[in-house]
């Protein structure tokens, strides 16, 4: 059946492997990485290993991939011979498996057995020397590799790289959630790190909204997702997804699928709440019952809010509308209750924008708290 919600081929643009055309909030990071790599390649900067770190979903992997694409293009135009590999090292269980991964990525026919880790690395450099190519090697999730094994890998790699100094250029990019350079014990090696100046920090609600807007344009039919709903997803991502773009995109995908399964023509706040609840239930009907038993006033307030939100399409309701429906947003007792519901994860209470949204669970579940 044709989806009313998603464009043809739209779903794949919401997948983890999709690399978007634009990286809002990360353009400067991309440029810095690009300039640094080119600086190394062209000998304007002393060769070092680029390290960058930041929380999950802050765009490290995708930014490095975009910068690398840009480097490849630059080299292609200037006839600079470059090999490029981006390897996830998370599941490499030893120095040997990591060296093997690198060797196999360049030479798929290399025998799997009979070499040591160091020998494999020498083979890699021999290959690069023979083909006259530089090597841009990205080791992703490298901090988890370093914490899993007692590794000599990095020191070995640098020592071997030094032996080939004039002949083979190795440009390393090391990515981690934690600072990779603090995990390398060898103090001699730590002087080889080049830290990227721009930091990868959690995205704010506004930044997530811009990122998601692009994805909506790429993947969704026109007029299926309102901007206010995108902003709601941004808020949820900031508050419950630690500002991870991965969380935001997952929420967008799950909300769209909910709408699609129902055969509806638009994504609604209820679809988003349903998706949020499925990804992670911050609050359940049982939790809410406990809150009500402690404070009967809370029960009346939530009842009023349900009625207001049922009768309106918008995900956010302004304080003015709340007032019109009898919720006294200037009464300190009511404010306390709204804050408590925010804290519990049932509301997004935003005094600076003077609005609230009902979140945490779909209305169909919320009603169960009144049974």
Ligand X SMILES: Nc1ncnc2c1ncn2[C@@H]1O[C@H](COP(=O)(O)OP(=O)(O)O)[C@@H](O)[C@H]1O
- CB nearer to Mg ion: give 102 or 175: 175
Tally Cβ neighbours within 10 Å of residue 217. Answer: 12
- Residue 290, class by beta-carbon neighbours within 10 Å (0-12 exposed, 13-18 middle, 19+ buried)? exposed
Chosen residue from 3, 38, 50, 60 binding ligand X by CB under 6 A: 60
- CB nearer to ligand X: give 210 or 365: 210
Stretch that binds ligand X, among 59-67, 101-109, 153-161, 352-360 (CB under 6 A): 59-67
How does DSSP assign 174-208, residue by residue?
EEESS-GGGT---HHHHTTEEE-SS---PPPHHHH
Residue 208 and residue 245 in contact, taking contact as beta carbons nearer than 8 Å: yes
Q: Which does 358 bind (CB under 5 to 8 A by kind): ligand X, Mg ion, none?
A: none
| 3-class state of residue 349 by DSSP | strand
Q: Which single residue brings its beta carbon nearest to ligand X?
A: 59
Task: Name residue 87's beta-bridge partners.
Answer: 139
- CB nearer to ligand X: give 60 or 169: 60
Chosen residue from 71, 75, 136, 211 binding ligand X by CB under 6 A: 211
Q: Where in 300-329 is the site for ligand X (CB under 6 A)?
A: none
Chosen residue from 25, 53, 58, 61 binding Mg ion by CB under 5 A: 61
Q: Which does 308 bind (CB under 5 to 8 A by kind): Mg ion, ligand X, none?
A: none
- CB nearer to ligand X: give 54 or 360: 54
Residue 276 CB, shortest distance to ligand X, in Å, is 18
DSSP run (H or E) holding 348: strand 347-350
Q: Which does 136 bind (CB under 5 to 8 A by kind): ligand X, Mg ion, none?
A: none
Based on the shown chain and the rule CB under 6 A, indicate whether residue 285 belongs to the binding site for ligand X. no
Contacts made by residues 328-336, CB under 8 angstroms, sequence distance 24+: 333/297, 334/301
Task: Name residue 137's beta-bridge partners.
Answer: 85, 172
Residue 202 CB, shortest distance to ligand X, in Å, is 10
Chosen residue from 136, 249, 298, 327 binding ligand X by CB under 6 A: 249
Q: Which does 26 bind (CB under 5 to 8 A by kind): ligand X, Mg ion, none?
A: ligand X
Based on the shown chain and the rule CB under 6 A, indicate whether residue 25 belongs to the binding site for ligand X. yes
Chosen residue from 118, 213, 239, 246 binding ligand X by CB under 6 A: 246
Stretch that binds ligand X, among 22-30, 154-162, 267-275, 306-314 (CB under 6 A): 22-30
Based on the shown chain and the rule CB under 6 A, indicate whether residue 62 belongs to the binding site for ligand X. yes
Chosen residue from 5, 6, 33, 59 binding ligand X by CB under 6 A: 59
Chosen residue from 2, 8, 16, 223 binding ligand X by CB under 6 A: 16
- CB nearer to ligand X: give 101 or 218: 218
Alpha-carbon span 91 to 228, nearest angstrom: 40
Alpha-carbon span 126 to 132, nearest angstrom: 10
- Phi and psi (nearest 5°) for 172? -100, 140
- Residue 107, class by beta-carbon neighbours within 10 Å (0-12 exposed, 13-18 middle, 19+ buried)? middle
Residue 227 and residue 252 in contact, taking contact as beta carbons nearer than 8 Å: no
Stretch that binds ligand X, among 23-31, 161-169, 335-343, 348-356 (CB under 6 A): 23-31
Q: Where are the alpha helices (DSSP H) in the chain?
A: 27-41, 60-78, 95-106, 117-131, 142-148, 153-163, 187-190, 205-219, 227-240, 245-262, 269-279, 285-294, 296-310, 319-324, 332-344, 363-366
Would you tell me which residues interact with Mg ion (CB under 5 A)? 61
């Amino acid at each position: 059946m044709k989806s009313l919600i998603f464009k043809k081929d739209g779903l794949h643009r919401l997948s983890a492997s999709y690399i978007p055309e634009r990286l809002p909030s990360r353009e400067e990071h991309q440029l810095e990485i690009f300039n640094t790599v080119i600086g190394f390649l062209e000998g304007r900067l002393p060769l070092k290993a680029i390290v960058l770190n930041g929380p999950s979903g802050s765009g490290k992997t995708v930014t490095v991939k975009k910068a690398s694409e840009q480097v490849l293009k630059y080299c292609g135009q200037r006839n600079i011979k470059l090999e490029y590999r981006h390897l996830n090292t998370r599941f490499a269980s030893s120095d040997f498996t990591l060296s093997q991964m690198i060797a196999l990525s360049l030479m798929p026919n290399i025998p799997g057995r009979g070499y040591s880790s160091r020998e494999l690395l020498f083979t890699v450099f021999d290959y690069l020397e023979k083909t006259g190519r530089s090597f841009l090697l990205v080791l992703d999730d490298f901090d988890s590799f370093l914490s899993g094994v007692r590794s000599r890998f990095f020191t070995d790699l640098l020592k071997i790289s030094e032996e080939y100094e004039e002949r083979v250029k190795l440009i390393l990019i090391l990515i981690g959630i934690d600072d990779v350079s603090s995990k390398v014990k060898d103090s001699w090696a730590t002087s080889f790190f080049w830290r990227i100046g721009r930091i990868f920090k959690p995205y704010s609600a506004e930044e997530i909204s811009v990122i998601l807007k692009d994805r909506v344009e790429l993947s969704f039919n026109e007029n299926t997702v309102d901007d206010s709903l995108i902003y709601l997803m941004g808020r949820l991502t900031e508050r419950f997804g630690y500002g991870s773009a991965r969380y935001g995109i997952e929420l967008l995908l799950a909300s769209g699928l909910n709408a699609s399964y129902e055969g509806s023509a638009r994504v609604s706040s209820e679809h988003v709440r349903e998706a949020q609840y499925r990804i992670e239930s911050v609050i359940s009907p049982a939790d809410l019952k406990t809150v009500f038993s402690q404070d009967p006033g809370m029960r009346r307030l939530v009842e009023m809010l349900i009625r207001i939100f049922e009768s309106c399409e918008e995900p956010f309701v302004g304080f003015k509308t709340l007032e019109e429906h009898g919720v006294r947003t200037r009464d300190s007792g009511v404010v306390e209750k709204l804050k408590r519901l925010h804290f519990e994860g049932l509301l997004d209470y935003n005094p600076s924008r003077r609005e609230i949204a009902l979140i945490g669970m779909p209305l169909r579940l919320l009603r169960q708290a009144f049974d």
